[in-house]
Every structure is written in C-alpha cells, then in structure tokens.
Amino acid sequence: MSCFKGKYHDELVANATYIGTPGKGILAADESTGTIGKRLSSINVENTENNRRALRELLFCAPGALQYLSGVILFEETLYQKTAGGKPFVDILKDGGVLPGIKVDKGTVELVGTNGETTTQGLDGLAQRCQQYYEAGARFAKWRAVLKIGPNEPTQLAINENANGLARYAVICQENGLVPIVEPEILVDGSHDIERCADVTERVLAACYKALNDHHVLLEGTLLKPNMVTPGSDAKKVSPEVVAYHTLRALQRTMPPAVPAVVFLSGGQSEEEATLNLNAMNKLNTKKPWSLSFSFGRALQQSTLKAWAGKDENVEKARAAFLARCKANSEATLGTYKGDAALGDGASESLHVKDYKY
Amino acid sequence: MSAFVGKYAEELIKNAKYIATPGKGILAADESTGTIGKRLSSINVENIESNRQALRELLFTSPNALPYLSGVILFEETLYQKSSDGKPFVEILQENNVIPGIKVDKGTVELAGTNGETTTQGFDSLGARCAQYYKAGARFAKWRAVLKIGLTEPSELSIQQNAQGLARYAIICQENGLVPIVEPEILTDGDHDIKKCAAATEKVLAAVYKALNEQHVLLEGTLLKPNMVTPGSDSPKVTPEVIAEYTVTALRRTVPAAVPGIVFLSGGQSEEEATLNLDAMNRLDVLKPWTLSFSFGRALQASTLKTWGGKKENVAKAQETFLTRCKANSDATLGKYSGGSASGLASESLFVKGYKY
C-alpha cells in the first residue's frame, strides 16, 4: 500500500491538524536532564528534580498562556511529574486544550569516517516505549536528526542515515498512536550564505520525504520541524523577508501539501528574531498549503528563565515574560505581529551556541 | 545549487504558469507518424503527409477553440508544417496565445529481465534538438515514461530508470528554454483495484520528484502529466468522485507546491469520462496548490476524427465537435462542467490493451 493505514489513522490526522491550528504552536520543553542543567546553571539554579519540576510548573500554569499553544513537548521525566498541588502536568495541559508530546530519541552518535557528522539513536524498543507514552497521555513525539553544512557536508551518508532514521521513527510512532514530528535540523554554524543553506535544506527535505514515502508513513498524520533557511552564524545577517522568501521556496519545492503544518525550530535565533522571521513567512504572499507555526524551546523560554532566576517571588514576573512570547508567536503565525511585545531581558539576545549539543 | 537557474529560468516559470492557466489546457496532437496512421486508418484515411497536415489544420483552425487551449504538443513533422494557405502552424498557434510544444522522446524499449517493463529513449543529442525546436518556436516539451501494474510491477528497476530518465530529460530541456512536461504514465491495463493504482502512483511520483531534485530541475518551470488514479481496465468502474478523491490525495502526498500545474493524460478513457473525472477533481473541496487541467490526445480528438472521416465537406462539423470537447474540458478545469455534451461518440471507451504509441 502507499501509506500505512493502522487503527490510529483518524486520530493521527485529527491531532496533526489540530497542532497546526493557526494562532497556536508548540512549546519545546523537552530538554534532557543534562541540557536543562545547563539552562538552570546559567541562572544559578541547582539541577534537582524539584527545580526542574518547578520550572515546568511555572510555564504550564502561566495564566493565559496555554491558549496560544497546541502542544508541549516533554522529556520523559516531566511526562510523569505533577504540580506542587499534586495535579499531573499531563492533565493540566489536556484541560488547557494542549496536546502532550514526548521526546523519544536518545541523542546523536558520530558517523565514523565523516567530519563530525552524526546519526540519531533510539529505535531499540521504540514501539513499546511509544505505547507506554500513549498510555501516559502523550499524543505526539519528536526525534531530532542533526546535519551540518561544511565544505563536504552534509555528505550523502549523513543525509541517507538521518532520513532513514526519521522515517523508521515516524512509522513506529504512527503504529502506536503518536503523531511524529519529523525534525531534520541543519545547524546554522558556519560562514555560508543563505543560498547554500537553501540548497542543503532542499536536498535534505527531498531525501526525508522520499524516505517517508518508502516507509509508508501517513503524511497527513505528521508534522515537519525544520530549520528556517538563513545565512550561517558567521555570515552577514539578512532581513526577515529574505529569510521568509528562501524558507518558503525551499518548502514549496520539497514538502507535499498533504503535511498539515510546519513547526519551525528556532536554532540559535534570539526570541525576537525567531518571532519576526515566522511573522514574515506568514505575511509572504505565496503558495502555502500547510500552516506555518513554531516549536520553540530557547526562543520561548529565554527571557522567562532570566526573569525567574529560580526564585518564588519572581514567578509572576517570569510568567508575564512567558505569556508575552507566547502571544507574540501566536500573532506571528497569523502574520499580525507588530514587533511590540514587551521585550523581556534577553529577548534580543542571540541564543546561538557553536556546535550546539542537546 | 538547489535548482538550476540558467538564462531561461524566468521564461520557463512564466510559460509553465501560463500553460497552467485555469480554464485552459493542452491538446496533445503529437502522435508519431506510425500512431497517427492507426487513427487515420480507423476512419479509412490514407496515412500520407497531406492528410496528416489536413487533420492538424482542421484542429488548429477550429473557430473559437483556441481560447480554451494554452498549449498544443506537436510531433516534429508538424512543427514545420503550414496551413493550406501557407501559414506555419506555429504562427497560427502563437497568434492565438497557444504555446507550441514538441514531443522529444523516441519511444520505449524493453528492460531485459523484467516482465515487459520499459524505459524511454531519446537522450542522444537531446540538447541540440531542444535548441533547434526552440528556434522553430517550441516553448515546452513532452517525454512519455511508461510503467505498468502487475504482480511484481512496477519493479524498483523500472521506477528508478524511468524517474531518472524523466529527470535527465527535464534538466536538458530547461537548459535549452523548453518547459519539460514530466509524464510518468502508469497504464490502466489490469484487474487491480483503485487502491493498488493509488499505491503505485504515489510510489512512482515520489521517485520522480526525488530524481528531479537530484538533477537540480527547477520545479517552478515544469508541469506534471500523470495518469488519473482509477481501477484497472478489467476492474469494476467507480464514480468520478472516487477517482477525484484518490487522485488528488495521491498528488497531495507527492507533488510539491512549487509545481504550477498538473495536466492529466486521458489514457483509455472516453472523452466524456475524462472530462467528468477532471471536473470532479476541480470540484473537490480540498487544498490544491497546483491547477488541475488536461493534456488530452484521444479524449479531445476521437469524435472529431470520426465526424471528419477525411472528407472536406465534414470539416466544419468536425470543428464544431472539437470545439465542444475543448469547451467541456475548459469548464472541467473550473469545476463547472454540467455534463451532457456527450454524444454517443464522446462516451466511447478509447482503451486499447497494452497501448503503444
């Protein structure tokens, strides 16, 4: 058959479509224990389970924020955590009309013989884990594949390995009721221009969709989480309109209309940059048969983290910062963002870390 | 680079977009000398150059028909022919805003070790030939790849060979100013159901677009000419609405939004069937980022041919018949066809088993 039609078919299509609702997007709060540790230490907060829990409670219970979100990606630990008052996070999200998602990959490993290129692991026992996560309330999953641009990169090996991994992950998710977010992130590191990024992005996305087709993935029940098409981190910046043009063109050339939505990653962009770029894309008058939204981690949490600094007395202030970013990005999905979100401390700060590892 | 942007890039994009104009479509009048011979003999007309010329003149000078056409695909001989009062066909078309196109493939050859599967030839000097055709006024080209459905078909080899072939042809065309129509026809022959056709179509189209990407083809300057998704010829028929749903779903799953238009082949469908199916697709309330139109040969000419019968005194009547089919299909591209232009002739199946051009 062309695509796999299992028992979750209708649910997958409905959930994928819902996540792409205009005006909403995804909060990527799936930082692994190690990664969230880096964030916490940057605001001098100890990396304990309670602090990790407190941060997520700050976010998920921010008044008025959930209306701008259609999904939240969680790390496994968080899927089973509760508020201080004992309510499971999963229930908080569901009550707020937000689908819980789960990171299911187990990080990257280097491909021997390449110049630091990687593939992603996590396929072993993936079906069983997905079933468990579904039982715990998750309805979508995320798997991050990583590629880089260099003189010889990405190599055909890296492209094939990562595309194949994404496709295997995607079909296993669908067999077990989870909408797979397909994330082929091409790192922004480098001094290449935007045309080079466009070229690589188009080749990578074409390989991904060929692999998804080969593996019988139901495209209507998936989402794409790509990088925006931008110049390299060491190259001259361009305007949001230029980013929008190149990004949309790359998607038009590779992404079948059957995919309901694109939820961009923010990479190392500052909060404001990411919002402005997303807004420019939604304003651009060109063919867009899928909705364009966000799946931001750092670009939604940066100023919130700084405002919180781990202190109870700052929670309200931090929540206000978080709400401001959620609202700004919601408007960006509608192309109505006016750049007037009160810029919290750090909202314009680049979040680029060279050779970023989760 | 991602897509090849040569000196013709803007022109290619403009022409592809024009061909995809809603309300218009393509007349496939590119039957080779051998094939047109079969058509002529079916109406007892001798296969000589003047008759071939007369037929095409009948079509191209049909009063009021050309506004419904954005392009006509020609065979090489026809590209250089004139009307009986000495006007080049190419000029007649151009003056009426119809873009001349040219068939550039050289037919199919069997792939050894397969069960009758084929690949398409025509690469030798293709670049030079395209340049010549451009000089003669052609602005788009067509290359027909053929696949079939069977127990083990289409095989991986056949899919790869035909997809790669289409991609090589496409980039060579674009280097020389011709918009390539990409035609991966999956024959209707067989007793398979519509789901099997859908699966094969999705697989083939995915391979085609992967190959086009690899060869740096500028998708905005191409058109797709696929089969509609239907049950096999030996299977029970389904309604136009069912065909529309399966076809549009297959296209949504495989054809990137950058492609401006999709111009269906009619295969062995009758004139009326083809029009009704196209109409149903355009009525379907689902997002379609490319226009859906026609590139019909038999399904535009069958009843016209019969009405003509090779006789001068029938030309006017035959031209009226042709106009009727053109308008019907134009309406179908807008989802506005109200049916009923089906004379008995228009409902006749044009299916020929194992059809060879």
Dump pLDDT digits (tens) for B319-347.
999 999 999 999 999 999 988 655 566 77
Return the amino acid letter for B152.
T
Q: Is the pLDDT of residue A34 over 60?
A: yes
| Cβ contact A256–B255 (<8 Å) | yes
Residue B21, SS3 per DSSP: coil
Calculate mean pLDDT across residues B74-96: 97
What mean pLDDT do residues B300-311 have?
Answer: 96
Residue A33: both structure tokens together: 């224990």
Confidence of residue A66 (pLDDT cuts 50, 70, 90): very high
- CB-nearest to B256 from A2, A207, A256 is A256
Q: What is the pLDDT of residues A269-298, one digit of tens each?
A: 999 999 999 999 999 999 999 999 999 999
- The Cβ-side half-sphere exposure at A167, using a 13 Å CA radius, reads 22
Peptide bond into A154 cis (omega under 30): yes
Of A80, A88, A78, A268, the residue nearest A188 (C-alpha): A268
Q: Using a CB–CB cutoff of 8 Å, tell me whether B257 touches chain A.
A: yes
With a cut of 70, say whether residue A71 has pLDDT above it.
yes
Dihedrals φ, ψ of A262, to 5°? Answer: -110, 130
| Phi and psi, residue A101, nearest 5° | -125, 170
Residues B29-43: pLDDT tens digits? 999 999 999 999 999
Q: Report which of B267, B206, B199, B275 is spatially closest to residue B240, judged by C-alpha positions.
A: B275
Partner B contacted by A255 (CB < 8 A) = yes
Contacts of B195 in chain A (CB under 8 A): 1
Q: A91 touching B, CB under 8 A?
A: no
**Disruptive mutation site among B213, B229, B259 for chain A (greatest number of A CBs within 10 Å):** B213
Q: What average pLDDT does the segment A171-176 reach? A: 96
User: Where do we find the tokens 């590779």?
Assistant: A254
Question: Average pLDDT for residues B102-115, to the nearest whole number?
Answer: 94
The mean of the pLDDT values for chain B is 95
Q: What is the CATH superfamily name and number for domain A8-334?
A: Aldolase class I (3.20.20.70)
For residue range A95-109, list pLDDT tens digits in order: 999 999 999 999 999
pLDDT at position A357: 56
Determine the pLDDT at residue B354.
Answer: 63
3-state secondary structure of B202: helix
Residues of B in contact with A207 (CB under 8 A): 210
- Scanning B274-313 for CB atoms below 8 A from A yields 287-289
Predicted confidence (pLDDT) at residue A348 exceeds the cutoff of 80? no
Is A256's CB within 8 Å of B253's CB?
A: yes
Whether the per-residue pLDDT at B44 is higher than 70: the answer is yes
Q: Is there a contact between B223 and B184 (Cβ–Cβ < 8 Å)? A: no
Report CA-CA distances (Å) from A291 to A208, A255, A267, A282, B169. 19, 12, 20, 9, 34
Q: Do A210 and B1 touch (CB under 8 A)?
A: no
Q: For A213, which of B206, B219, B257 is closest by C-beta distance?
A: B206
Give the nearest partner residue to B1 out of A195, A252, A254, using CB atoms: A195
Interchain CB distance below 8 Å, B256 and A252: yes
Q: Give tens-digit pLDDT for B140-186.
A: 999 999 999 999 999 999 999 999 999 999 999 999 999 999 999 99
For chain B, report the end-to-end CA distance as a whole number of angstroms.
37
The residue written with tokens 């939820």 in the block is A263
Kind plus residue range of the DSSP H or E element containing B264: strand B261-264
Contacts of B118 (CB under 8 A, 6+ apart): B108, B109, B110, B111, B146, B158
Q: What are phi and psi of B167, to 5 degrees?
A: -70, -40
Determine the pLDDT at residue A5. 79
Q: What is the DSSP letter of A67?
A: G
Distance from CA of A213 to the nearest CA of B (A): 7
Q: Give the pLDDT confidence score for residue B4 in this predicted structure.
A: 85
C-alpha B88/C-alpha B69 separation (Å) is 18
Bridge partners, A147 (sequence order): A186
Give me the interface pTM, i.e. the ipTM.
0.84
Any idea which residue has 């395209």 for tokens? B130
Q: Is B225 part of the annotated catalytic residue set? A: yes
Rounded percentage of chain B residues whose pLDDT exceeds 90? 92
Q: State mean pLDDT over B116-121.
A: 96
DSSP letters spanning B283-316 = H--S--SSEEEEEESHHHHHHHHHHHTT-GGGHH
Q: Domains plus CATH for chain B?
A: 8-347 (3.20.20.70)
pLDDT value of residue B344? 63
